[in-house]
Amino acid sequence: MNIDTKTEEFHHVHAAHCENGVTTALLRHHGLDFMTEPLAFGMGSGLFYIQIPFLTINNGPAISFRTMPGAIFKRTCRSLGVEVTRNKFSDPVKAQLFLDKKIKEGAPVGCQVGVFHLSYFPKEYRFHFNAHNLIVYGQEDNRYLISDPIMEEVTSLSAEELSKVRFAQGPLAPKGHIYFPEKVGVITEDVIRKGIVKGIKRNVRDMIGIPGNFAGVNGIRYTSNNIRKWRDKLGLKKAGLYLGQIVRMQEEIGTGGGGFRFLYGAFLEQAAAYLQDDRLIGLSEEFTKSGDMWRASAIQMAGVYKGRLTEQQSFDEIADRLLEIRSVEKEAFLKLSKLNLGK
């Protein structure tokens, strides 16, 4: 997290992931100076894995490395006792009036947007992906001032452009979704510690406590089993595209899978300091290891979609590596669950 671009009152936060960044920046704006991206991610139990069976998105497997959109903001605020307002709209005009009112009050707000029409994004990135998040923090010369957490600098959008991305259509359509902290109370170290413990416990539940075979660490095995069959079932070309989609889901901005493991490692490092518990440092290392393994698997998958690896053996190797990742992550979460962090 880098906090360097300053506007009059609002401080832009550059983050690895959009929702973490929005959460961090909005809470810091409300005086919570201790908030960092890893802390928001960990308290919001952001780490996840799921492959939704039988569903394809953009003609590839439906995989997510993160929890549901909106959950990180909601959970982090709730653990800190921060009251939140969230609104969706059916009418774009009303959505804009509401936004204008908040901006006049001087309150920066989070908005969920689709990236297909997001004019400042490079064209290569503009798919119909509707769970991007940004902050609107002001208005100047008829343009809205935008703080997009994935960017180093702030930017701006016209009213028309902003309305278009706030009312993008398709899966997870934002429907003008706007959200912001309403009331922030006094937050003691104790509240922060409790929030951290709660975040860890919930993440343990999400990763190793969900029954069934496609969510949490078991989801990684589910994908692994799929990959073994792809070459025969889909043919080499389509199998390569599917692997490419995994890598994009895994490593790209806004969804980052490998990167999320590093982020979780950074969170545990900060948690160790808050809880004065060095055991968490050791566990942080395990997530670093897992992140490195995800990246190594991406390199191997790239071999397939670049056409360099074509044999079934390569698919088996990739599948085996995912199983290894699963056991590293399962082990790490089991250890986390046995720590007796209390409260």
What are the residues binding other proteins (CB under 8 A)? 1-2, 14-16, 38, 58-59, 116, 120-125, 127-128, 150-153, 169-171, 173, 240-241, 244-245, 247-248, 251-253, 259, 262-263, 265-266, 269, 284, 288, 291-292, 295, 298-299, 301-302, 305-306
Helix (H) or strand (E) holding 183: strand 178-183
Q: Which is nearer to other proteins, 186 or 299 (CB)?
A: 299
- Shortest CB 202 distance to other proteins, Å: 21
- Shortest CB 303 distance to other proteins, Å: 10
Instruction: Annotate 91-150 with DSSP letters as a single string.
Output: -HHHHHHHHHHHHHTT--EEEEE-STT-TTS-GGG-SS---EEEEEEEEETTEEEEE-TT
- Shortest CB 293 distance to other proteins, Å: 11
Q: Which is nearer to other proteins, 38 or 110 (CB)?
A: 38
Distances in Å between the alpha carbon of 250 and those of 256, 295, 301, 313, 316?
5, 9, 11, 22, 19
Q: Which is nearer to other proteins, 82 or 200 (CB)?
A: 200
Q: Which is nearer to other proteins, 38 or 216 (CB)?
A: 38
Q: Which is nearer to other proteins, 169 or 213 (CB)?
A: 169
Q: Which is nearer to other proteins, 181 or 265 (CB)?
A: 265
Q: Which residues, in sequence order, are bridge partners of residue 47? A: 66
Q: Which is nearer to other proteins, 251 or 331 (CB)?
A: 251
- Shortest CB 9 distance to other proteins, Å: 23
- Shortest CB 52 distance to other proteins, Å: 15
Q: Which is nearer to other proteins, 183 or 306 (CB)?
A: 306
Residue 290's identity, in one-letter code, is S
Q: How far apart are CA 29 and CA 34, in angstroms?
A: 11
CB 227 within 8 A of CB 321: no
Q: Which residues, in sequence order, are bridge partners of residue 145? A: 138, 156
- Shortest CB 132 distance to other proteins, Å: 13
Distances in Å between the alpha carbon of 295 and those of 72, 200, 228, 263?
24, 24, 19, 14
Distances in Å between the alpha carbon of 271 and those of 2, 21, 48, 137, 224?
19, 18, 19, 30, 31
The phi-psi region of residue 170 (left if phi > 0; otherwise alpha if psi is between -120 and 50; otherwise beta) is left
- Shortest CB 56 distance to other proteins, Å: 10
| Helices and strands per DSSP (H, E), number in the chain | 10, 8
- Shortest CB 18 distance to other proteins, Å: 11
Contact residues for 298 (Cβ-Cβ < 8 A; gap 6+)? 247, 250, 251, 258
